């Protein structure tokens, strides 16, 4: 895996006036980020409207960014959900050429227990051919990955980082 140190930007997905992905704007955005010192790109995270894209659009967006990037920066691909088995199926059917890691959001809507999240992320890490970055964003998912669970998950060799967006600094201070 290439280094994910430094500034990683969660890319938005631009749309045209007809509500189609604006690939010209996507090309410009990708070049702009690369040319202005970003260290890695986060593609199809929840910031990138991935949940509103068709599967064919997701594939087209990813292919386009990979083409424009041309291996210059590491790519982190958003792959998350609340159905563990469906997510594993998606992981197994994905071509990870050019992808350095996945960003996987905490399961949303069904509010799993801490043990449930541990099992969910362990299964993802076991299935993924690339490293996994956990994504904790309780304000959007209603699931909060607590520090003891993060510490347990950190022991997995394929879980390499966490994107923490919990807005609770007290939670992050582990004694």
Task: Determine which one of 32, 155, 163, 172 is catalytic.
Answer: 163
Can you state the percent helix, strand and coil of the chain, rounding each to 5? 40, 15, 40
Q: How far apart are CA 14 and CA 128, in angstroms?
A: 28
Which whole-number Å values give the CA distances from 171 to 111, 142, 148, 150, 160, in the listed order?
18, 16, 10, 11, 19
163 catalytic, yes or no? yes
135 catalytic, yes or no? yes
Task: Determine which one of 40, 58, 108, 135 is catalytic.
Answer: 135
Helix boundaries (H) for the chain: 23-35, 55-69, 84-92, 114-127, 138-141, 147-153, 169-172
Q: Please give the backbone phi and psi of residue 144, each rounded to the nearest 5 degrees, phi first.
A: -115, 115
Just list the catalytic residues: 135, 163
């Amino acid at each position: 895996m290439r280094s994910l140190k430094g500034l990683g930007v969660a890319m938005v997905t631009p749309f045209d006036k007809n509500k189609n992905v604006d690939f010209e704007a996507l090309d410009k955005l990708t070049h702009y980020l690369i040319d202005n010192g970003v260290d890695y790109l986060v593609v199809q995270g929840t910031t990138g409207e991935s949940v509103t894209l068709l599967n064919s659009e997701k594939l087209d967006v990813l292919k386009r960014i990979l083409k424009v990037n041309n291996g210059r920066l590491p790519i982190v691909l958003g792959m998350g959900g609340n159905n563990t088995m469906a997510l594993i199926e998606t992981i197994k059917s994905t071509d990870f050429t050019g992808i350095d890691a996945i960003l996987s959001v905490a399961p949303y809507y069904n509010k799993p227990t801490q043990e449930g999240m541990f099992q969910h992320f362990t299964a993802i890490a076991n299935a993924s051919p690339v490293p996994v970055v956990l994504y904790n964003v309780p304000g959007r998912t209603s699931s909060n990955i607590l520090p003891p669970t993060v510490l347990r998950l950190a022991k997995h060799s394929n879980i390499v980082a966490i994107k923490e967006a919990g807005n609770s600094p007290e939670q992050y201070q582990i004694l």
